[in-house]
């Protein structure tokens, strides 16, 4: 775990460092979640447009735009996930004294959502110049499944943040 986020820091004077670390961690998590949820919602809306589109030329244009959105989301989400795994979750586990089972479940959900997203990107990369309507709909369905999983994951992470905040408040940090 990053020493910056150690709850039992030697420079801890009366809980003020812990309070700052909790507030800093919670604030960062909330900000990143808000941005990621907004991007995820945009991807969901784009995927729904693809599923409804009848014109193959517009459909394929929408698919390329959707790929760009997904690629950007993956970059941002991966950076956020690395931060969570290296700092947020160890920090929260330190507070609880153990690693809650929720973290393992969240990791499984992450992997499943990633499989759906990777399936979308790989299929699109192998696609011919113009995708048939049914293929595009199937691919958009991958993203809708990933959306449902990730929306749930963000809710679970926000519960962790809330528990972390509540626990720190109960200890007067």
| Per-residue pLDDT at 96 exceeds 90 | no
Tell me, what's the pLDDT at 102? 64
Tell me, what's the pLDDT at 9? 40
Task: Specify the 3-state DSSP secondary structure of 20.
Answer: helix
Tell me, what's the pLDDT at 8? 42
Task: Specify the 3-state DSSP secondary structure of 99.
Answer: coil
Residues composing the chain = 173
Among residues 41, 2, 46, the alpha carbon closest in space to that of 25 is found at 2
Give the integer Cα–Cα distance in Å for 17 and 25: 12
pLDDT digits (tens, 9 = 90+) for 111-137: 999 999 999 999 888 877 778 889 899
pLDDT digits (tens, 9 = 90+) for 16-75: 776 777 788 888 999 999 999 999 999 999 999 999 999 988 998 999 999 999 999 999
Burial 30-46 (b: 16+ CB within 10 A, else e): eebbeebeebbeebbeb
Tell me, what's the pLDDT at 121? 92
The pTM assigned to this predicted structure is 0.80
């Amino acid at each position: 775990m990053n020493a910056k986020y150690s709850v039992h820091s030697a420079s801890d004077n009366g809980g003020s460092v812990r309070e700052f670390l909790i507030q800093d961690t919670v604030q960062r998590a909330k900000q990143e979640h808000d941005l990621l949820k907004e991007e995820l919602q945009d991807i969901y809306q784009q995927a729904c447009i693809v599923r409804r589109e009848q014109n193959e030329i517009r459909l394929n244009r929408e698919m390329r735009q959707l790929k760009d959105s997904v690629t950007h989301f993956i970059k941002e989400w991966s950076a956020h996930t690395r931060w969570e795994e290296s700092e947020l979750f160890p920090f929260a586990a330190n507070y609880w004294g153990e690693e809650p089972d929720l973290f393992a479940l969240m990791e499984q959900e992450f992997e499943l959502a990633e499989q759906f997203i990777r399936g979308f990107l790989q299929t699109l990369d192998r696609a011919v110049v113009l995708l048939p309507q049914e293929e595009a709909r199937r691919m958009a369905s991958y993203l809708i499944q990933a959306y449902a999983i990730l929306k749930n994951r963000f809710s679970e992470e926000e519960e962790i943040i809330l528990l972390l905040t509540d626990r720190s408040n109960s200890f007067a940090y």
